[in-house]
Chain A
Amino acid sequence: MNTVLVGIKRVMDYSVRVRIKPDGSGIISDGAKMGINPFDEIALEEALRLKERGSAGEVVVVTVGLPDSQQQLRAALAMGADRAVLVDQSPINELSPLTTARILLKVAERFQPILVILGKQAIDYDNGQTGQMLAALWNRPQATYASKLEVDGDRARVTREVDAGLETIEVVLPAVVTTDLRLNEPRYVKLPDIMRAKKKPLEVIALGDLGVDCDSNLRMRTFKSPPVRPRGVMVKDAGELLRALKQRGVL
């Protein structure tokens, strides 16, 4: 079947100004523009391209979230995914990446994919953990921060963006891949795709039915805003800039 499983997350759009609740209990997201985590869109695009190249069969998109995440699943179906799965976490508001990884493992065990592709991080909590944790629990290879992915038979060759430059590794499938920015540019969705997506299967699974341990040894206690940098000075030219730097003792 050569199924590729893509994990996506509903997040606040990157352009929305982040505001902290006055009691420090979280982020104000009421009415904010929501979308698919940008790295996850790249993950989906890569899966679709693998399918178009004949390296993959069905593309299954999965999210763990509240019922409103169905909007993002529909958007993923419009992009070209074949079927969608929502693991409905209600009434729990926040799940840890470890719990999400445990849930994704259950989904992976059911679909037996050759690849699970996820974003390298979600732009809300910036944790960057779920892919690595899934790979650990699944006892399979991981190729994080991918900027190039080639599937060849039972293996994948992945170029990774690392601090030193680019690193290439080879992994035996099935494997977990997490995407970096330059892997691809996700396609735009056209209106007919949105209409077609309405007929594609979207299955909802209750988290409680999966028998997953949702406990975490970590709790997010309080949220606060970062300190604001004081407003600086403006200079007119290179000479003035140099003098200002010397005055501050930086040069």
Chain B
Amino acid sequence: MARSLIVAEQARGRLSPNTAKCVCCASKLADVGIDVVVFAGDASALAAEAATLSGVQRVLKVERPENSEPLAAVLAPQVAALAKDHTHLFGSSSTFGKDLMPRVAGLLGVGHVSDIMAVESSYGFLRPAYAGNALISVEADSGKIVVGTVRVASFQPVERNGRASVEAVAVDVPLPSHTRFVSRSEASGDRLDLQSAARVVAGGRALASSENFKLLYSLADALGAAVGASRAAVDSGFAPNELQVGQTGKIIAPELYLALGISGAIQHLTGIKDARTIVAINKDSEAPIFEVADIGLVGDIFQIVPELERLLRSSSAARNA
């Protein structure tokens, strides 16, 4: 029987939706039992949240002062020690999961399946490579623990109607002191989370300045959308790094993706392929973004975007009148 352990992660003090997506992935395994482990200085609130995830049997909370910041070098030996009774060990494809899980695999001396996008069998997984241009079926030995990250754009979060037990667990392993957290800065503040937003408005190099990016923020507010950016826009300093969408940034799957002045390099397209509806607005009718767009509009974003926002606001005002 498969028994999975999922490493919970937090975002802005709450349980990240990524953890509910990992549970969804683990629930696709045959004869499944699912545990979630929460690491924190004080893990009570997070553990209580994790206990509501449908399909989870046990939530293990590991509270140590050293666990108050998510340092892979500190967490990995604890995860490795806890995973002794499990057949599968998952984190999400966030920077937290991608930093931590391969280190755990290294400690356990097993391979690591990155970016699981589908479960084909309890020991068979589909994953993307070559910027999503190849999908590879990976088969794992059933005699060894499977360690991997779950591609969050490929799974829906499970419902929050479960009632798992919560157990405090002491993990008695020596922790390294060679790594120290210093600081964290979040430039995008309290805007909607790009990874989990249902709608995303993203801008490219054509925005030409961080000042012009305000056009996007304003449209995003009218739409109730998060803001994203192409690599070119981030490299040029128009938008902060955490907004980057693509092969090396965030892979997202919103209901609606609006690409404004984004040409659509293959590395960008790999980050948005799972969006339900892709809209592209670009003045270059030959831009590759139009090959994947469900709705395309050739024109000047500096004229179209304010017009679009005006129409959106007036139609929602009409609805609310």
Contact = CB atoms under 8 A, between A and B. Distances in A.
Contacts, number: 256
Among A39, A131, A168, A238, which residue has the most Cβ atoms of chain B within 10 A? Answer: A238
B182 A165 contact: no
Contacts of A207: none
Among B106, B107, B114, B276, which residue has the most Cβ atoms of chain A within 10 A? Answer: B106
Interface stretch (A49-57, A75-83, A197-205, A221-229): A221-229
Interface in A39-82: 39
A180 to B, nearest CB: 7
B206 interface: no
A245 B295 contact: yes
Contacts of A129: 102, 105, 112, 114
**How many interface residues does chain B have, given as a range?**
35 or more
Interface string B270-299: 000100111101000000001111111111
A133 B256 contact: no
Given A169-B180, A245-B295, A98 B105 contact: yes
Interface stretch (A85-93, A109-117, A118-126): A118-126
A154 to B, nearest CB: 10
A102 B12 CA distance: 36
Interface stretch (A1-9, A134-142, A186-194): A134-142
A167 B187 CA distance: 11
Interface string A142-176: 10110100000000010011111111111110010
Nearest to A14: B267
B295 A232 contact: yes
Main secondary structure of the interface of B (DSSP, over half): mixed
A175 B281 CA distance: 45
B307 interface: yes
A156 to B, nearest CB: 11
Interface of B: 11-12, 71-73, 76, 94-96, 98-107, 109-115, 124, 128-141, 143-144, 176, 178-188, 195, 231, 234-235, 240-242, 247-248, 250, 255-256, 266-267, 273, 276-279, 281, 290-299, 304, 307-308, 311-312, 315
B181 A169 contact: yes
B295 to A, nearest CB: 5
The 8 closest A-B pairs by CB, nearest first: A136-B106, A133-B106, A18-B133, A132-B102, A129-B102, A218-B111, A165-B186, A232-B294
Given A133-B105, A224-B135, A126 B114 contact: yes
Contact of A134 (B106, B141, B185): B106
A165 to B, nearest CB: 4
Contact of B186 (A133, A164, A220): A164
Given A182-B235, A182-B241, A232-B293, A133 B114 contact: no
Given A134-B106, A166-B241, A170-B180, 13 more contacts: A27-B130, A126-B128, A135-B106, A136-B104, A161-B95, A163-B250, A164-B242, A217-B140, A218-B111, A218-B138, A220-B136, A221-B139, A248-B277
A223 B311 contact: no
Interface string A234-251: 111111111011001011
Contacts of A233: 294-296
B7 to A, nearest CB: 14
